[in-house]
Amino acid sequence: MTDLSPLLDRVDAAARCLIEGDARGYFDLLPHAGDYTLMSPYGGDVDHGATVTDEAVAGIAAWFQGGEVELEVVAAHHSADLAVLVLIERQHGRIGGLDQDWSLRVTLVFRRADDRWLLLHRHADALTHRIDHDTLAALARGVRPGSAPDTEAPA
């Protein structure tokens, strides 16, 4: 078995890079596998691959403009060649031009390649207060909180 402390230190440093808008630092600390997948907190389709382009780096720098991060490790599991980290990224900073909380529930999956861990998968969603089934169903239908109630067509 492997001690995950060095990996956790890199994950922490990478999260700090990201909140500061340093995408290159993030990718340097957490190299991604060629078959990497991302389920981002923005929803939508699963992204495949992680190509670091100048455009992506500039976009991250424009969106994340500084802040603080504290990682809470909920669980860490590993075998010789796989590691799974379940985390809460407690983040607060200037994001999208607004001073705000940006805390996320995150699951990271790593695969060992030779002597290093490659990020294979990231799943992140907003850390919010618990909501009920009806609210979740309304959000899934695209109804925004605070908008007029949606109506369904009669059957």
The residue segments making up the domain with residue 127 are 5-140
Q: What is the pLDDT of residue 35?
A: 96
Q: What is the pLDDT of residue 110?
A: 98
7, 1 contact by CB (below 8 A): no
Q: What is the pLDDT of residue 98?
A: 92
Q: Is residue 131 part of a domain?
A: yes
The phi and psi torsions of 41 (rounded to 5 degrees) equal -70, -10
Beta bridge partners of 46: none
Q: Is residue 105 part of a domain?
A: yes
Q: What is the pLDDT of residue 109?
A: 99
Displacement of CA 147 from its chain's centroid (Å): 28
Q: Is residue 150 part of a domain?
A: no
Q: Is residue 28 part of a domain?
A: yes
> Tens digit of pLDDT per residue, the chain (155 long)?
468 999 999 999 999 999 999 999 999 999 999 999 999 888 888 999 887 889 988 988 999 999 999 999 999 999 999 999 999 999 999 999 999 999 999 999 999 999 899 999 999 998 777 878 887 788 778 887 666 665 554 44
8, 15 contact by CB (below 8 A): no
Q: Is residue 152 part of a domain?
A: no
DSSP of 54-67, one letter per residue?
Answer: HHHHHHHHHHEEEE
Residues present in the chain in total: 155
Q: Is residue 155 part of a domain?
A: no
What's the predicted TM-score (pTM) here? 0.84
CATH assignment at residue 73:
3.10.450.50
Q: What is the pLDDT of residue 122?
A: 96
Q: Is residue 98 part of a domain?
A: yes
Q: Is residue 36 part of a domain?
A: yes
The number of folded domains in the chain is 1
